[in-house]
Amino acid sequence: MIMIIIIPSSTISTTNTPLLSSVPPKAKGRRARDTARPISGLDVSALLGAPRTEPITRDSAIPAFRRTLAANNDTDAVADAARQMAAVICGLVTDSLGDALYARAVETLAAMRDELIVIDQPRPFNAFARDFRMRLRSGEFGGDRRDFWIMMKRARLGLVTKMECDASSVTAEEAEEFYKTG
């Protein structure tokens, strides 16, 4: 479907002023999460009390992780949430019969990586990824799990680099080497 727009000649400017404005550069760093605001203007969070942090379990790992990060920007709380997510991922890989739970583990791993990039705290993920790779190689997750490592590589769920997050200290070369040595 082609749409033709006819502009009256009276609206066209004869001066050299551009009709389009320039696009601002892409913002880096923390993205503010959009929160729903009630029409009444009441502070609902104050009415409900302090946000409670729930344990991150296998049943609802991704939503619980996101809620925990939204409630706490404290480095210790983020590190604790990342440890809980790491335990869920390791449990999924260990308890998987063949590759039955691998897709869920990859999805959880991707959510953990993405959320930690959004809040500019890639260190917990990078530490987990290095440890996880070593544990996979040693057979700690119930035998040979190289097929899970291949899924991780295909999904590009390796170390968070400086290009992805300014707070990271990992170079692109280190990230590529991480994939090769797995």
pLDDT of residue 131 exceeding 70: yes
**Which candidate, 151, 46, 166, places its Cα nearest to that of 106?**
151
Q: Are 94 and 82 spatial neighbours (Cβ–Cβ below 8 Å)?
A: no
89's tokens:
């991922």
Closest CA to 85 of 52, 63, 102: 63
Model pLDDT, residue 72: 84
Domains of the chain: 54-180 (1.25.40.240)
- What is the full DSSP assignment across 112-153? HHHHHHHTT--HHHHHHHHHHHHHHHHTTTTS--HHHHHHHH
pLDDT averaged over the chain?
85
Give tens-digit pLDDT for 144-178: 999 999 999 999 999 999 999 999 999 999 999 99
Write out the two tokens for 73. 């920007």
Whether the pTM exceeds 0.75: the reply is: no
Which pLDDT score is estimated for 74? 87
Inter-residue contact 147 to 102 (CB < 8 Å): yes
Contacts of 21 (CB under 8 A, 6+ apart): none
Angle at 97 between CA 90 and CA 138, to 5 degrees: 50
| Helices and strands in the chain: count of H runs, count of E runs | 7, 0
